[in-house]
Amino acid sequence: MQTSFGTGQANRESTDLAFTDPLTGLGNHRRFFDKVDRLIADRADDPAPFTVGILDLDGFKPINDLFGHKAGDDILIQVAMRLRASMDGHSTVCRIATWIRISSPALWPN
């Protein structure tokens, strides 16, 4: 039998997994859209601006073909670490993967 503390912790861990990109540890598309929705809702009465920056990383096919997918993954992990390190505590960095490209929106409240 699980205690309510254990259940709460399990729920938080489940939510974290659902909102986190497993490769980079950044937020995923769910976290991105959740954050945008919350920023818009928080500004409903006083629409203060916020910034969405998008970084598009191209050219992974030759890297993956020449050096293997692990090399491409290692590059993505390094980019994620550097982006996270360069952000202040109020910013969110997310990785949104598509078939063609990797986009990493970062949200900055102004």
pLDDT of 104 > 60? The answer is no
Tell whether pTM > 0.75.
no
Encode pLDDT of 8-19 as tens digits: 776 776 778 899
Name the residue with higher pLDDT: 61 or 6.
61
Residue 109's φ and ψ, nearest 5 degrees, are -70, 140
Comparison of pLDDT for 21 and 87, the residue scoring more:
21
The pLDDT of residue 87: 84
The domain segmentation of the chain, as residue ranges, is 26-109
Give one DSSP letter per residue of 41-107, joined into a string.
HHTSSS---EEEEEEEE--HHHHHHHH-HHHHHHHHHHHHHHHHHHS-TT-EEB-EE-SS-EEEEEE
pLDDT the model gives residue 22: 93
To the question of domain 26-109 being in CATH 3.40.190.290, the answer is: no
pLDDT at 102: 43
The pLDDT, as a whole number, for residue 73 is 93
- The upper half-sphere exposure of residue 70, i.e. CA atoms within 13 Å in the direction of its Cβ, equals 0
Do 57 and 104 form a contact (C-beta atoms < 8 A)?
A: yes
User: What pLDDT score was predicted for residue 3?
Assistant: 59
Average pLDDT of the chain to the nearest whole number: 81
Residue range 55-74, pLDDT digits in tens: 888 888 999 999 999 999 99
